[in-house]
Structure 1
Amino acid sequence: MAHYFESLVEQKIREALERGEFDKLPGSGKPLPGYGGEYDEDWYVKELVDREKLAGAILPATLILRKDLEDLPETLARARTEPEVRRIVAELNERIADNHRGLLPGPPTLIKRLDVETIVHEWSRR
């Protein structure tokens, strides 16, 4: 008859289980995120970038500019005043001008300057 030796760690885990300390933990009974999908060796990095909102620290400035232009409708939807809309568009136009002058690092992008008056008019209609 073999005797089982319970280590201190195993003992602490068993006692915590008996007290119910592992019951109703967040995520209990739910599948692990990404389980069952295709394996991505960069999963941790991508999750970290999303969780910590690090895209601005990793993406080149020209790609961030393109992303900000893509997100412009949502950004303007949160704007409360016309001066705020004008400021947002002016800042984007300044970055677009920097891009035209070749001052932004990253792959080249062809982006036209934004028409402030048209954007303000569209924003005010909403």
Structure 2
Amino acid sequence: SLHSAVAQLRGEIASLNSLNSTLQSNTDILKQSLHRADGVIADAQSRTKAPASEANPSGLPPIDEVLVAPTVVGKQLYDLVAEEAGIQQAIYALQAALVRGVVGVEAWSRHTRGLAREAFLKRALVRKIGRGMALEES
């Protein structure tokens, strides 16, 4: 009976030692993660406090460096969507210039037609990529 109690205590000590080593490992991992997080926070705070450059007045990195597509096709999709949005803005600016009388009707129609054609081709390519990446519903 005494031998079985000693064996049981040794088993419990072994399991407690195992638990202790697991907890110690988890604590070390947590400390490392907190240290890295503190570094990231300090870096972000130093960027907002540092004088901003003329190229990037917010002090934050350019969005093109932060937003990275997971694949080459994904990057092409991002670029096409951005270009198509830019074309729509250009068409809007042309319309506003026509209304103000800055651009003549002939120039407006020629440029608008060209931009609309380019936007159509980009939109078609976006749809094709969407189908290829299984992004479309049907």
Please report the TM-score for the alignment, with normalisation by the length of structure 1.
Answer: 0.31
Greater helix percent: which structure?
A: 2
Structure with the greater alpha carbon radius of gyration = 2
